[in-house]
Amino acid sequence: MFKNILKEALFLYFIYGLKSGRGICMIALRLHKPRSLRIDEVHKPRINSDEILVKVVYSGICGSDLHLYRGALRDRVKYPAILGHELSGVVAEVGERVTWLREGDKVVVNPVLSCGSCVACMAGRYNVCLNFKIMGVDMPGAFAEYVKANGVKAYRVPEGVSLREAALTEPFSVAMHACRRVGIEPGDVVAIIGQGPIGLCVTQVAKHYGAFSIIALDVLDERLETAKKLGADEIINPVKIDPVKVAKRLTGGVGVDKVIEASGSPDALNMAVRMVKPGGRIVVLGLCFREVKIDTSLMVFKEVECIGSRVYLDEFSRTLRLFSKGYLKAEPLITHELPLRDGVRAFKMLDERRGNAIKVLLKP
């Protein structure tokens, strides 16, 4: 009799697990502590009525993921953590309140969650929400077979845009927001410091926005060559050439109109202030988790505007439209595509700057 009761209990548990998602496992790449990644088997996410479950097809490794891997934001990250916020995939489940999406839809996901009620959100600036949360930091991310997301944060991928290309919607949206913040106008001379994945996205967006001349800076020559192919008019390795002298020579001694700092280097901001013209504008996009010293007297004398740029607002839909017309090119940035199970190797490669890697995609 006891055996029959046990069998019935196990059967009911199995059925409940199937319906609820409990007991169904998936693999995920989890950060257990700084520089300690492992492939683990974890429970498949359960969605709420306003959420969707996305079967991840591609997830990109971002520079901020590398910062987390190296130990940044330890006060926010709850180990073991599933990182990753750049993704494309297919809708696997739909909550009952999500009526605008169906299973099988190809989507990308805006990974930012805002509270909607703080002073920033009330002003329409949810990207600087006082209770800002982002997938892969404050909640499980995309380095897994499945990830759940709020239904309003999903965007259908347009016809003709591949999921591989769409996986870069997030970094291109970051770049577009920075270009809008800096206010690029047709005819501007724009310097872009840093030609990593985000910087290369910025180079393309700035050219599309009508920049007359783009000066791309990076310490890696292979990235500069990629920048040249994607629209940069001048490429400078600041280790070899003084970028300030080049900027002055190209602008008749005046300086560039706009500078976008996308490297995160602690020395870049002073370089930007020296490169920009009087009354010019600088946007800081790159993350630097070290103290930065800057010559404020030069900023005052030139009346330079220096502002920050954080993630995005409505740029996801804009980026997807530009992808659909071929105005932005994701493929030249994708240097590696690896199985999710090789995620540990992928992070080490990026951390050690091996293999000329720019954008690495993981595929569950």
Please check whether residue 53 lies inside any domain of the structure. Answer: yes
- What does the DSSP assignment read for 162-214? -HHHHTTHHHHHHHHHHHHHHT--TT-EEEEE--SHHHHHHHHHHHHTT-SEE
| Residues 348 and 279 occupy one common structural domain | no
| Residues 201 and 136 occupy one common structural domain | no
Whether 86 contacts 60, CB under 8 Å? yes
Cis peptide before 45 (omega within 30 of 0): no
| Residues 29 and 159 occupy one common structural domain | yes
What's the residue count for the chain? Answer: 364
| Residues 294 and 345 occupy one common structural domain | no
Q: What is the CATH number of the domain that holds 343?
A: 3.90.180.10
Look at residue 354 in the predicted model and tell me its pLDDT.
82
Please check whether residue 314 lies inside any domain of the structure. Answer: no
Look at residue 292 in the predicted model and tell me its pLDDT.
86
Tokens 């996986």 belong to: 167
Please check whether residue 212 lies inside any domain of the structure. Answer: yes
| Residues 62 and 140 occupy one common structural domain | yes
- Give CA–CA dist 233/182, Å, rounded: 19
Please check whether residue 319 lies inside any domain of the structure. Answer: no
Q: What's the number of domains the chain is made of?
A: 2
Taking CA atoms, 252 is separated from 201, 246, 248, 298, in Å, by 28, 10, 6, 19
Please check whether residue 8 lies inside any domain of the structure. Answer: no
Give mean pLDDT in consecutive 10-residue pieces for the chain, a chain of 364 residues. 49 44 83 98 98 98 96 95 98 98 98 97 97 97 98 97 98 98 97 97 97 97 97 97 96 98 94 97 92 91 97 97 97 97 97 90 97
| Residues 295 and 353 occupy one common structural domain | no
| Residues 189 and 255 occupy one common structural domain | yes
Residue 197 belongs to domain spanning: 174-308
Between strands 276-284 and 305-308, the pairing is: parallel
| Residues 343 and 231 occupy one common structural domain | no
Look at residue 8 in the predicted model and tell me its pLDDT.
52
Please check whether residue 2 lies inside any domain of the structure. Answer: no
